[in-house]
Chain A
Amino acid sequence: MTAVDGATILLVEDNETIRHAVSILLEESGYRVTQAASGTEALEKAADQPPDVILMDLGLPDMSGLDVTRRIKADPVTRRSRVIAITGRAMETDEAACLDAGCSGYVAKPVDTRQLLRMIEVELGKKG
């Protein structure tokens, strides 16, 4: 049994098509996926059932993904979730700001799906 089986992922992404594509990737790879299209929805769903890993798009309509991450990390209920930031492109947000906000990792769009799956496995391994 690998770390993958049954692990939960909260996918935070405002674009419906990308959310659908990534959720197929994750579900077909064996994860249980919940989705959120905004920062507010992400905070609600994370508090409701803290996921193992959160994939956080940084460009959300209502608040910055980094702010959402800070709140998740500040809340004792959700702080154990590992956050992987997904950003439009490398030059837009620097990695230091992501790590500073509490993200464990950082990938640029378009995400290399194999790389993303590897990163998730690594984060699950760290979570133990």
Chain B
Amino acid sequence: MIELQLFIRGDRQEAARLREVLEREGFVLDGGSLGDRTSDIRISASNNGSTAAEKEEVARQVEELEIAVRELRNLDVAKSQFLANVSHELRTPLTAIVTYGEVLRDGLLGDLNDRQREAVQSVIGSSRQLLTMIEEILTYARTGARAIELEPSHFPIHSVIEAAHDMSASLIRKKSLQFEIDVDGELPIAAADRDKVLHVLTNLVGNAIEFTPSNGLIRVSARRCEDDPAWLCVSVEDSGIGIDPEYHEMIFREFAQVDSSRARQHHGTGLGLAIARNFIQLHGGQIGVTSELGGGSTFYFTLPSVEANGDSESD
């Protein structure tokens, strides 16, 4: 008998595809489930129907696969480590630029006229923008190197939605956007890493603001997931330019951006959604989008929860 145990990193679609292949090959599956690590999906498979020679061949192939997977993982860690080192090195001189800029701007080295101050302010603004992008690459590299651990706690989801709104309040005002929060009062409490969830929500709200024209609408809602009431389903809906369904999967991949002249006016590392996906998958959740070109977008993600029964479990 051939027995296999496969661990797939947090991607249910990937797991489903693999199970299909194994079943086609005559393996009996014992129902894939979440492994010890919430980010892994475990599949156990056995196959009784092969001859001795076939079994040997499969065993050899499995061994080769295992070696290949190990090598790929090592490469992936090396890549992430490299990214982390580079972004760390980039931050230091940029930090100096920002500090010198602010010293000049505030007239500590002598008064500036309006045009000089404006120029220095641009140096500071652009440098900070660059730093934000570098921070994003660093965060991405850390998740890739599995250097990020979840620190779960229990918290009401509306508190994080409000925090994400507050962080973007000035941008929302600037574009005169209507911002609605629609949270069911009877919701269970989120059981997740609050900082990571805030990071994801801030990113989704940031995208919504960026791709929604002035006077548009952004609505953040939370409710129980329809297919599993133990999970929270959080969505960020906007009345913006929308995304062609062709790109719905691609935008969650790293360094990918929708390649249209419209989107090219927007800047960024193309890592925001990849990081969001990593963070949500670390929780065992799912993230996705429904959208039509010109018809606004709704990004949603799911989070584990616990019932709000007044237990003193939360922290």
Taking beta carbons and an 8 Å cutoff, which residues of A are in contact with B? Answer: 15, 17-18, 20-22, 24-25, 28-29, 88-89, 91, 109-114
B95 touches A109 (CB 8 A): yes
27 contacts between A and B (CB under 8 A): A15-B96, A18-B95, A21-B96, A22-B99, A24-B103, A24-B108, A24-B109, A28-B108, A28-B109, A29-B108, A88-B88, A89-B135, A89-B138, A109-B91, A110-B94, A110-B95, A110-B98, A110-B99, A110-B127, A110-B128, A111-B95, A111-B99, A112-B102, A113-B99, A113-B102, A113-B103, A113-B106
In angstroms, Cα B100 to Cα A91, docked, is 25
Taking beta carbons and an 8 Å cutoff, which residues of B are in contact with A? Answer: 88, 91-96, 98-100, 102-103, 106, 108-109, 127-128, 131, 135, 138-139, 195
Q: Which residue of B lies closest to A59 (CB)?
A: B88
Residues of A within 8 A of B94 (CB): 110
B108 touches A25 (CB 8 A): yes
In angstroms, Cα B106 to Cα A114, docked, is 9
- Determine chain B's interface SS by DSSP, over half rule: helix
Residues of A within 8 A of B135 (CB): 89
Q: In the complex, which of the residues A18, A22, A24, A25 contacts B92, with contact meaning CB atoms closer than 8 Å?
A: A18
B99 touches A21 (CB 8 A): yes
Residues of B within 8 A of A110 (CB): 94-95, 98-99, 127-128, 131
Q: Which residue of A lies closest to B95 (CB)?
A: A110
Residues of A within 8 A of B92 (CB): 15, 17-18
Known: A89-B135, A110-B128. A25 touches B96 (CB 8 A): no
Residues of A within 8 A of B93 (CB): 17
A25 touches B99 (CB 8 A): yes
In angstroms, Cα B139 to Cα A88, docked, is 13
Q: Which residue of A lies closest to B142 (CB)?
A: A91
Report the minimal beta-carbon distance from A16 to chain B, rounded to whole angstroms: 9
In angstroms, Cα B96 to Cα A22, docked, is 8
Other than the known A17-B96, A21-B99, what 11 A-B pairs have Cβ atoms closer than 8 Å?
A15-B92, A18-B92, A18-B99, A25-B102, A28-B103, A28-B108, A91-B139, A91-B195, A110-B94, A113-B106, A114-B102
